[in-house]
Amino acid sequence: MSMDDMSMVMGMVMGTGIVAWARIIYRVWKVMDGDLSSHVWPALRWHITKSKRITRYLGLRRSS
């Protein structure tokens, strides 16, 4: 498995990670709408920005 394959797989894992995260959080949110949102939202935002940074990095590596 080459480095490019690895980075592609990582990108896919990151992508599905975000979707799964959002689904779980949405469900939990509906069940216990309250103080949980103050903990979950920052964690989700951090996860998304981190994933975006990684995908951007992978995109740069791929185009160069």
pLDDT along the chain (64 residues), means of 10: 73 73 76 63 78 77 66
**Residue 10 contacts by C-beta under 8 Å, 6 or more apart in sequence?**
54, 58
Burial 39-56 (b: 16+ CB within 10 A, else e): ebeeebeebeeebeeeee
Given this model, what pLDDT does residue 4 score? 78
Provide the whole-model pTM: 0.28
Dist. CA 35–CA 23, nearest whole Å:
18
> Nearest 5 degrees, angle CA 30-CA 36-CA 55?
90
Dist. CA 52–CA 12, nearest whole Å:
12
